[in-house]
């Protein structure tokens, strides 16, 4: 389908009615994708994120940049930038045929 120059409202409405709709706000949350669909991996991500937020509030110092093979907690801590929410590509989203990430360009 070619949408060039067309009104996109019908497309957005269709997606909101048929897809798994998420409104992730990148200024408020960090997107995270578990290693597998197993719920324990989502849980591990959430626990690591909470530990990173707690360490950040304690003012724990880190050496930057954090190595790519560093612990997940340290890698989260490096990219927090004041965000205190984690948006996880969870089991429900993984099972969906279509996922739509809503965006309001006026919210920045």
What is the residue whose two structure tokens read 């067309």? 6
Mean pLDDT of 1-28: 89
Does position 107 have pLDDT exceeding 70, yes or no? no
Return the SS3 of 5.
Answer: coil
Instruction: Give tens-digit pLDDT for 34-92.
Output: 988 888 999 999 999 999 998 877 766 666 788 889 999 989 988 888 888 999 998 88
Output the pTM of the full model. 0.75
Helices (H), 1-108: 9-18, 39-57, 72-79, 91-95
C-alpha–C-alpha distance, residues 83 and 53, integer Å = 8
Does position 102 have pLDDT exceeding 60, yes or no? yes
């Amino acid at each position: 389908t070619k949408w060039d120059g067309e009104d996109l409202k019908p497309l957005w409405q269709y997606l909101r009615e048929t897809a798994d709709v998420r409104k992730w706000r990148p200024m408020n949350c960090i997107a995270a994708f578990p290693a597998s669909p197993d719920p324990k991996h989502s849980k591990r991500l959430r626990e690591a994120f909470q530990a990173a937020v707690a360490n950040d509030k304690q003012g724990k110092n880190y050496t930057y940049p954090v190595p790519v093979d560093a612990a997940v907690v340290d890698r989260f801590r490096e990219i927090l930038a004041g965000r205190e929410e984690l948006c996880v590509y969870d089991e429900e989203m993984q099972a969906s045929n279509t996922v739509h990430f809503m965006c309001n360009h006026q919210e920045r």
